[in-house]
Amino acid sequence: MKHVFAALFALAAALYIVAVRTLDPPPPEGIERIRWATDANPTRDRQTGLFAELYRGLEAVVDPGLGGDQTKLIVQCATGTGPDVIDVYDQDAMASQVSAGILMDLTPYAEQYGFSVENTYPALRDALMVDGRQYRFPCNVWANCVVYNKAVFDDHGVPYPRDDWTWTEWIEVCRQLLQSPSRAGEKHFAFANWNNIWWFGELYINKGGRYFSEDGLTCLLDSEKALWAIQFYYDAIYKHEVVPSAAQLASLSAQGGWGSGWLSIFSNGKVGMIIIGRWYLCQVEYFPQMKGKLGAVRLPHVEGREPTGLCDTRAAGINAMSPHKDAALKFLQYLASPEYSKLIVEDGDSMPPNPSVAASGKMLVNRAEPDPAFHQPFVDAMEDAQPADLSPFIDSLVVRRWLGEALDRVENQVEAPDTAFRNLTTEINRTIRVNLERQPHLQRLYEERTGRPYSEDWWREYQKP
């Protein structure tokens, strides 16, 4: 037994030494360091380096360890070991963190430091606030466009798509790409459905749809507009046959030489079009064969409606328990600066948070894409884009997962489009009811939003049985 304890002690000591060695070394004397909870994108090195250059005596280090783990974040912040600056990826997570006391109210400081909601895109302002108070500021911003491969269009003799086109015309462009013979004898696809939630969302939002009622109590994914969007999605695959199904993608991947997904297949020059943000330019470094071949246009629009689409942001807040609040405030000031935004422009990491640096396509040219015409549609898209609406009564990550599963069932013909979305809506509404029954703070929010006392049968007046 003595030897067992000795071995366990030796193992614990070894693990402690390894853990200590993996920690960041202490900052140099005279340097105040903050931890930034974000992803491990290689561009973060340049971003933290510029911060240290502009703000002498301050240093930011990337902490990618949370990985979106909300529970771990709450525990760390509650015990005083949390990061100082926290990337918050959606409105629902922001509201949860505000409710948990994690995020600091930035409103008293935002105007003084130059990172108020007035310093970024109008479409995102509400997405940075809870109950009229600001809790985060963008690190980068995106709105999708159609990025196309000029070489594929040229090979099939098909004119490049134009900005003012409809979804019906998009179907026709896809047909032309598929039906016109390749001069080089290559096999190409018209459209890369690499993110089905985005594609459905762009259709639905452009049709004028909402995911939830204004009060957040009712899911609207069984509305006429939602059923139109999912039927269009289905018809593009099975009626018009211009978009390959998931089964066809699996078959291609099994054949080898096509890559493991539509993003890879597009980047290898096999597809005409993809719906994606300007951040795709970060991929060009890894697929140099795409350089000089890319074009971009606004998303198609529904007949009779103005162009509009989704936008969103990766945005940073400050840990309310941070011992380095002044330094963290200066980091958000840095995010709002022209210098930081110019770095985002150079790296192609979506759109910069400071609109003054992205007023035209000419201002967005970089080493990956020197043509202003490529960048201009992304500038225009931010003018009329909007974030997806969320409900505080259900976790947005759960809704996103269930929506993706419903789209997969439709795409694989497991359920009819209307059946899948009516079932999805029923499940979301049922979960909202259960959440309200079990969580008193949601009951209080219900009363604030409706002006009525909460009762267990509230839903009979708000949701379909």
Helix, strand, coil shares, percent, the chain, to 5: 50, 15, 35
What integer pLDDT is reported at residue 78 of this predicted model?
A: 72
Give domain limits for the chain: 26-141+312-379
Residue 14 has pLDDT above 70, yes or no: no
Which CATH architecture best describes the domain 26-141+312-379?
3-Layer(aba) Sandwich (3.40)
Q: Which pLDDT band holds residue 70 (cuts at 50, 70, 90)?
A: low
Residue-wise pLDDT for 114-143, tens only, equals 999 999 999 999 899 988 999 999 999 999
Residue 423 is given by DSSP the state H
Residue 152 confidence (pLDDT) above 60: yes
Q: What pLDDT is attached to residue 17?
A: 36
- Per the rule left: phi > 0, alpha: psi between -120 and 50, beta: everything else, 216 is left
The model's pLDDT over 238-288, given as tens digits with 9 standing for 90+, comes to: 999 999 987 777 766 555 544 458 999 999 999 999 999 999 998 888 898
* Residues 441-449: contacts with CB under 8 Å, at least 24 apart: 441/99, 442/392, 442/393, 445/392, 445/393, 446/217, 446/393, 449/215, 449/216, 449/217
How long a stretch of residues is the chain? 465
Q: What is the pLDDT of residues 213-230, one digit of tens each?
A: 999 999 999 999 999 999
CA angle 215, 217, 219 (to 5 degrees): 110
Q: Is residue 34's pLDDT more than 80? A: yes
Angle at 331 between CA 327 and CA 333, to 5 degrees: 115
Contact present, 93 and 396 (Cβ < 8 Å): yes
Q: What is the pLDDT of residues 381-416, one digit of tens each?
A: 999 999 999 898 998 889 999 999 999 999 999 999
Q: Which token pair is 450? A: 């409706």
Reply yes or no on whether the pLDDT at 159 is more than 60. Answer: yes
Decide: 348 and 285 in contact? Cβ < 8 Å.
no
pLDDT digits (tens, 9 = 90+) for 99-110: 888 999 999 999
How many distinct helices (H) and strands (E) make up the chain?
18, 11
